[in-house]
């Protein structure tokens, strides 16, 4: 009977876990619908602005004196890393941390040795892992629970200021790009200098075009480019949020299915053990009755 009690306890434990994972799956599915609608609505706008930025970059990179287009020797690097605040979302966070560390090892080994790698962490999980090895200049967890454009704009302005002040020579963004509920693509996107952005976002970059600017090109650059950069960083945040909910929903669905299979196996074992115990009791009763007859 001790075996039966142990199996009953395991059934109760797995059943409780199954209810939790099923509830988390439903919550993530509801959040995913909202996040997916947001990123799908945002993508056409950001894509068109990226094309505008691409054309501007193509028209000014030869003779530009704009600081945001400056291509200089990379000595100091900043990486903006988007992770989540909570776990139970499969490899969502671990893939981002691995990609960040691999990027540093392969592309910025010398800068890392000199202590010139700076991280900007959005999300608790990435901060906990990466802050052990690299300095973190910025950390924000609230953006994931209450995403807003103002905080992203403030962060972008800080990055622009540090880049133009030559405190940073290159800025890259590491995040999970949302493909669908079951697929998230880990992406490293160049952010600053501006001239490096179109190559990563367009498979067929538009040809350089001579435009007549109204107002002047300099005025247009000063006004438009910071806004486009803010929107691009906000898109990375929106992509990351949708990817997190998709990864968690998929992970909890698999966990619920595994719990169902485990419950079926445990119930089968319980029934077999219970049948065996009943059979043994019947044998004892029959044996006792036979002994009394003799």
In a domain, 154, yes or no: yes
Residue-averaged pLDDT of the chain? 87
In a domain, 120, yes or no: yes
Q: What is the pLDDT of residues 1-48, one digit of tens each?
A: 458 888 999 999 999 999 999 999 999 999 999 999 999 999 898 888
* Higher-pLDDT residue of 289, 230: 230
In a domain, 277, yes or no: no
In a domain, 62, yes or no: yes
In a domain, 79, yes or no: yes
What is the pTM (predicted TM-score) of this model? 0.84
In a domain, 283, yes or no: no
Cβ proximity of 181 and 244 under 8 Å: no
How high is the pLDDT of residue 286?
79
How high is the pLDDT of residue 30?
94
CA distance 113 to 261: 49
Which one of the listed residues 89, 249, 259, 266 is annotated catalytic? 89
Q: Please provide the size of the chain in residues.
A: 294
Helix (H) or strand (E) holding 140: strand 136-140
In a domain, 132, yes or no: yes
Question: Is residue 121 annotated as part of the catalytic site, yes or no?
Answer: no
Q: What is the pLDDT of residues 76-134, one digit of tens each?
A: 999 999 999 999 999 999 999 999 999 999 999 999 999 999 999 999 999 999 999 99
- Torsion of the alpha carbons at 219, 224, 230 and 231, rounded to the nearest 10: 180
Number of independent structural domains in the chain: 1
Q: Which domain holds residue 126?
A: 47-250
- Torsion of the alpha carbons at 41, 46, 52 and 56, rounded to the nearest 10: 170
In a domain, 159, yes or no: yes
CATH code of the domain in which 88 resides: 3.40.1380.10
């Amino acid at each position: 009977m001790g075996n039966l009690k142990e199996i009953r306890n395991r059934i109760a434990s797995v059943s409780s876990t199954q209810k939790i994972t099923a509830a988390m799956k439903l919550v993530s599915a509801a959040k995913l619908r909202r996040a997916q609608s947001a990123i799908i609505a945002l993508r056409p706008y950001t894509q068109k602005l990226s094309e505008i930025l691409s054309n501007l970059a193509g028209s000014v990179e030869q003779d530009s004196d704009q600081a945001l287009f400056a291509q200089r020797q990379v000595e100091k690097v900043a990486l903006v890393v988007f992770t989540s605040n909570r776990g139970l979302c499969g490899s969502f966070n671990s893939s981002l941390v691995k990609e960040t560390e691999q990027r540093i090892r392969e592309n910025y080994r010398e800068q890392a040795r000199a202590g010139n790698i700076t991280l900007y962490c959005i999300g608790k999980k990435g901060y906990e892992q990466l802050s052990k090895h690299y300095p973190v200049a910025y950390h924000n967890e609230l953006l994931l629970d209450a995403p807003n454009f103002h905080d992203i704009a403030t962060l972008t302005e800080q990055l622009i200021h540090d880049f133009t002040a030559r405190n940073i020579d290159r800025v890259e963004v590491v995040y999970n790009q949302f493909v669908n509920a079951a697929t998230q693509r880990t992406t490293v996107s160049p952010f600053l200098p501006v001239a490096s952005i179109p190559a990563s976002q367009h498979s067929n970059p538009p040809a350089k075009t001579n435009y007549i600017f109204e107002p002047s090109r300099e005025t247009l650059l000063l006004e438009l480019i910071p806004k486009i950069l803010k929107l691009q960083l906000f898109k990375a945040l929106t992509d990351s949020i949708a990817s997190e909910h998709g990864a968690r929903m998929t992970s909890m669905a698999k966990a619920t299915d595994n719990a169902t299979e485990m419950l079926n196996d445990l119930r089968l074992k319980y029934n077999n053990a219970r049948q065996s115990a009943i059979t043994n009791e019947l044998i004892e009763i029959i044996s006792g009755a036979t002994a009394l007859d003799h």
